[in-house]
Amino acid sequence: MTSQIAQWHAEHGNFSLLLSFLEEQVARFRDGESPDYHLMLEIVSYLREFGDCFHHPREDAAFALLATHEPRMRLPINRLHQDHRVLAVASEELAARLNQVISETYVRSATVEAAAALYLAYYRHHLATEERQILPHARLLLTAQDWEVVARAAPSCPDPLFGDTPTQTYQRLAGMMAARSSGEKKQDSAAGG
Ligand SMILES: [Fe+2]
Ligand SMILES: [Fe+2]
């Protein structure tokens, strides 16, 4: 159970990191620069592939169990279930716009910027709500049997980006994250003296 909570929290950390990479690209619109649309699509594809297919189904199972233990949580939990459906549609919409740009179909950059900015804001708010309202209650209320139900809600699969061996699709993104993390470590050790 503890390991499942730790994994749940770690996945949120991974998603937040990806959203910060996405935000850097979205900021380029504001600065009048051209974003890396391929990178944006890789990020959204991962969040769809892993988030929508594995992370969210397990959460949906955990939410349903939490609501049976604590009926007062039904309203916020219903909103989070709805968030998952909205995020699935928003990610599909953003991926469609990015694919249009990449295939050189005309699409206004303001349309892509708006789709990406909305997705970012919605996803960040969703993660923060789960961390603040759900994980602490799940830690207290869910039983060992509940956690077995949660685990069965979506098949285990190797994480295609943050797992031991990133798949070919995400090699570049994995390399960028490794470079960022080693740069931050160097800065920390330099600051530490
Ligand atoms: Fe969620
Ligand atoms: Fe989540």
Give pLDDT tens digits for 3-20.
Answer: 899 999 999 999 999 999
The tokens for 48 are: 């769809």
The tokens for 33 are: 């620069």
Q: Topology of domain 2-187, per CATH?
A: Four Helix Bundle (Hemerythrin (Met), subunit A) (1.20.120)
pLDDT band at 52 (very low <50, low <70, confident <90, very high): confident
pLDDT (mean) for 30-39: 92
Determine contact, residues 161/170, Cβ cutoff 8 Å.
yes
CA of 128 to the centre of ligand 1 (A): 10
pLDDT at 127 exceeding the cut of 90: yes
CA of 130 to the centre of ligand 1 (A): 7
**What residues are neighbours of ligand 2 (ion), with CB under 5 Å?**
130
Q: Which of 56, 58, 78, 53 is nearest to 67 (CA)?
A: 78
pLDDT at 124 exceeding the cut of 70: yes
pLDDT at 193 exceeding the cut of 60: no
3-state helix, strand, coil in the chain (%, to 5): 85, 0, 15
